[in-house]
Amino acid sequence: MSKEVLPKELMNSVLGKLYDVLANGDGDVVPPSDDNYLAWLSVGVPYPAEELDFLSEGLTGVIKKSENSGTKNEEKDEEKDEEEKSIEEINQLLAQDTARKYQQAENFARIVDMIPDTSGVKGDVTMNVWNPENTLSQAYEHILKFSQVANLEPDEKLKAKIEKLRGLLQEKKIKKDIITDEETEVIEESQLVIKYTEKMQDFLTAALEYNTHRVNALTAKDPGAIHFWALNAPILRNKVLAAKRDWVNNGYKEEYEKISAFISQVEGRSMLALKERYLDDLEKTKLTGIASGADFFYSSLVPGNFAKSDSGWTQFTFSSSDYSSNYSFSKKKGSGGGGLSFGLFRVGGRGSYEKNESSSKMDASSFYLKFKIAQVPIVRPWFNVNFLTSKYWRFDKANPEFKDQMVSDGDLPPNGMIPAYTTTAIFVKDLVLYFGERHSEMQSEMTKAGGGGFVGWGPFHLGGSYSSTSGSRDFQRNSDSQGIRIDGMQLIGFKCHMLPKSPDPNPGVEEWV
């Protein structure tokens, strides 16, 4: 039976199911997400896998063989060409690739350096629209520079232990400036942290798969989803438990969390030394953009090769039975956080966006959507949350600009310099849409609406030319009788964590320095 609905009604339901899959658990095998809310980008950002080469290859240049080489003769010719290249030519190619990766690192760092808007987050509401405001690094740097800490000096034994534990979480590396050849010392996450985060991502992937099938079975009108859950739930449950065991046994889960807990516990006895260390960490992770000339703070995603692998991706589907289950994004998102266009289309071109919502109704009974989704943890070796939540610091009362500032007032929604920060990036790829009998009509409307730019629906980019400060990208949309396919990867949002009241100094501290 036909069910005529507006595009915005359908997208409201799609995002409602996506929220349940990403944030809700069953409280047993998969607990609810510790992160406080989801923030969607107002339109998805196309992210070709090669744009994240710096994550898996580092910032050092690499000369790659042509992707078009196929025959043995062609491969031999390439090897011969490489042998004939002079040292100067090889160094030039390496420098070009190094500069490309520095640009990638800068572009990514600026995306995850934004502080998400919290205006629409109230009570148990856990959905919002990505509306970046200040930068995390700037606010954090100001907090460190204009704060006072409790003057409780630890003994030398405790200092040495803290230094040892900190050394397990971070390691110093030497980076060479490709222009000046100047060597500088930088701080990066240690192998312990990398393994911890990689195994956490494996657990998140298994949990996402478990949640997806659990939600499908709980709400589906399709018997197949119920049969699948009845037959395979023990297997999916064991995958989650196995991933958690692997996280504990091979991802240093207990060790990492014990180290973090110990450092947090003793901060009140060693805040002066720790503050100096945090300032040093911040300075050593600072890099300078090749093209912009502006400083940025290195950040990454773990695992770094997720974009070029099918590992860590889970299939998400939405069909008529899901719409009938009355999922609702609007009931979760609250009254704030405007800016997300639910309706086809959010149109953009040359870096600008406008709402141009389609009034054409769709038949929800024949609509189908699918894509692969991955949650990837964000790692910032320069950002230490333990300092912000400690009760042994405050802003300098002699500084008129900062004495009354709050990092977070702890309210709902929270306000302050850093009321929340992003913890996990949400990527999707290989998006497919099918509109049933209205399919040809919707294809034509999308093409017309896009013009010389792109079209979007909710947080999803549906193809076209995308422009940003880092350049233009063409995101291809392929259409046929089987559906509209948008190949490639796009960033659609983040999981965000809200900070409690900060600063919240211990009233028993007698001396601040």
The answer to the question of residue 110 being in a domain is yes
Query: 419 lies in which domain range?
Result: 4-498
For residue 304, the model assigns a pLDDT of 87
C-alpha 231: how far from its chain's center? 33
Instruction: Determine the Cα–Cα distance for residues 288 and 297; give it in Å rounded to an integer.
Output: 9
The answer to the question of residue 505 being in a domain is no
The answer to the question of residue 205 being in a domain is yes
For residue 81, the model assigns a pLDDT of 54
Q: Contact 120/128 with Cβ under 8 angstroms? A: yes
C-alpha 397: how far from its chain's center? 36
List the structure tokens of 35: 């992160």
Q: What is the pTM of this model?
A: 0.78
Instruction: Determine the Cα–Cα distance for residues 322 and 381; give it in Å rounded to an integer.
Output: 40
The answer to the question of residue 145 being in a domain is yes
| Chain position carrying tokens 């050849």 | 181
For residue 256, the model assigns a pLDDT of 87
Per-residue pLDDT tens digits for 222-266:
677 787 888 888 899 899 999 999 999 999 888 888 887 777 666
C-alpha distances (whole Å) from 432 to each of 52, 305, 482 are 23, 24, 9
Exposure class string for 262-291: b at 16+ Cβ within 10 A, else e: ebeebbbbbbbbbbebbeebbebbbbebbe
Number of Cβ within 10 Å of residue 57's Cβ equals 15
The answer to the question of residue 508 being in a domain is no
For residue 53, the model assigns a pLDDT of 92
Instruction: Determine the Cα–Cα distance for residues 146 and 382; give it in Å rounded to an integer.
Output: 17
Low-confidence ranges of the chain (pLDDT < 70): 1-2, 34-35, 64-84, 122-133, 153-155, 175-181, 184, 219-222, 264-270, 326-358, 449-452, 465-474
The answer to the question of residue 503 being in a domain is no
List the structure tokens of 401: 């600009």
| Chain position carrying tokens 């959905």 | 127
Nearest CA-CA partner of 24 in 197, 205, 200, 214: 214
Per-residue pLDDT tens digits for 272-329:
778 888 898 898 888 888 777 889 999 999 888 899 888 889 999 998 888 877 666 5
The answer to the question of residue 309 being in a domain is yes
The answer to the question of residue 507 being in a domain is no
Number of Cβ within 10 Å of residue 349's Cβ equals 16
The alpha helices in 113-185, defined as continuous H runs, are 136-145, 156-169
For residue 65, the model assigns a pLDDT of 63
Tally the domains of the chain: 1
Instruction: Determine the Cα–Cα distance for residues 252 and 199; give it in Å rounded to an integer.
Output: 9
Q: Contact 302/194 with Cβ under 8 angstroms? A: yes
Q: CA 301, 21, 119: angle at the middle one, nearest 5? A: 75
Instruction: Determine the Cα–Cα distance for residues 299 and 280; give it in Å rounded to an integer.
Output: 16
